[in-house]
Amino acid sequence: RAEGRAAPSAMEPECRVLSIQSHVVRGYVGNKAATFPLQVLGFEVDTVNSVQFSNHTGYAHWKGQVLNSDELHELYEGLKLNKVNRYDYVLTGYTRDTSFLAMVVDIVQELKQQNSNLVYVCDPVMGDKWNGEGSMYVPKDLLPVYRDKVVPVADIITPNQFEAELLTGRKIYTEKDALEVMDMLHAMGPETVVITSSDLQAPLGNDYLIALGSHRKTKADGTRITQRIRVESPKVDAVFVGTGDLFAAMLLAWTHKHPNNLKVACEKTVSAMQHVLQRTIKSAKAQAGEGNKPNSAQLELRMVQSKKDIENPDIIVKATVL
């Protein structure tokens, strides 16, 4: 080991994450996008693969299997029988099935009984906006399950603008609207809300994408403190898959390391994302060759190559406290 770098304390308590997400054989989405960064940042990660596909569904072809809610329950029962169902965090992403999602809620509630400090990080993946028009890419009957069952037990949620609008039934046209929507989401349960992307006009200009974060804490005497931030990050002109999964995993890690500083947690998360995306687009363009558009395989996130940036990101994106 390089001299001068302190060894990690041998007494540092183990932090264990149960991540229930999709799995791909090739590439980086779901658990494949979340596990490596979390491990690099020192977390133990136990993965349940909600699907096992050959690759993500943005390719021309994909094959694989889907885990149903009974099979999820069976895996959880196995952990429980061995008394290894104690977790510090639960992380969930893309799900297509209402009964599976309802089972996740049951598991989270049981794990919270085991450990009252458990933090549930939920990316409520439902849809997105293209050219200003929002559309859902999961069945519509997932919305009430997310709104009425999932969000109330979540501690940290990472919707995009369209998903935040769906969950609250309120449209966002201005930053003020967004802050009010985040307050509505806090009122539903979560202490931390990050709107990961929006079509709001960035003060830095059209080449930037705005993310907004809000952390609400109730002090022992009952008073509430809310910290709110805006992050503007440079747009990268390509369609990446798995970025939301990577974002949620790194936000989990950095909020754990900076529990009362959403600004720093978001700066580290978004800066690391930028490093990964810049490395990915550069590599994809080199593979595709001059003048050719990179394909899905070439645009897979350069995760392993970005290990150092994930572990210790050079802060290239700053957050503004609102």
Model pLDDT, residue 132? 79
- Cα–Cα distances (Å) from 121 to 17, 108, 171, in that order, read 10, 10, 24
Number of Cβ within 10 Å of residue 285's Cβ equals 17
Model pLDDT, residue 257? 97
Percent of the chain with pLDDT over 70: 96
Q: Terminal CA-to-CA distance of the chain, rounded, Å?
A: 41
Query: Can you give the length of the chain in residues?
Result: 322
Cα–Cα distance, 276 to 300 (Å, whole number)? 10
- pLDDT tens digits for 2-40? 445 445 555 668 999 999 999 999 999 999 999 999 999
Do the domain assignments include residue 4?
Answer: no
Model pLDDT, residue 218? 85
Do the domain assignments include residue 7?
Answer: no
Model pLDDT, residue 232? 97
Do the domain assignments include residue 1?
Answer: no
Catalytic residues: 245
For the segment 49-54, the average pLDDT, to the nearest whole number, is 96
Alpha-helical (H) ranges within 6-131 are 31-40, 69-81, 98-114
Which domain, by its residues, includes 249? 16-287+300-321
Cβ 221 vs Cβ 9: under 8 Å: no
Whether 81 has a pLDDT exceeding 70, the answer reads yes
Number of Cβ within 10 Å of residue 188's Cβ equals 16
Cα–Cα distance, 27 to 178 (Å, whole number)? 33
Whether 150 has a pLDDT exceeding 60, the answer reads yes
Number of Cβ within 10 Å of residue 248's Cβ equals 27
Do the domain assignments include residue 294?
Answer: no
The interaxial angle of helices 161-168 and 175-188, nearest 10 deg, is 60
Domain total of the chain: 1
| Mean pLDDT for the chain overall | 95
| Contacting residues for 87 by C-beta, under 8 A, at least 6 apart | 16, 17, 18, 46, 111, 114, 115, 118
Q: Rounded to two decimals, what is the model's pTM?
A: 0.94
Distance of CA 227 to the CA centre of its chain: 20
- Which one-letter amino acid corresponds to residue 266? C
Name which of 131, 118, 29, 20 is nearest 75 in CA terms: 20
Model pLDDT, residue 11? 60
Task: Identify the residue whose tokens are 């959880």.
Answer: 76
The domain spanning residue 58 has which CATH number?
3.40.1190.20
Cβ 104 vs Cβ 69: under 8 Å: no
- pLDDT tens digits for 281-320? 999 999 999 999 999 999 999 999 999 999 999 999 999 9
Do the domain assignments include residue 177?
Answer: yes
Pairing mode of beta strands 133-136, 89-92 = unpaired
Cα–Cα distance, 110 to 81 (Å, whole number)? 14
Residue 170: both structure tokens together: 């309120």
Cβ 315 vs Cβ 290: under 8 Å: no
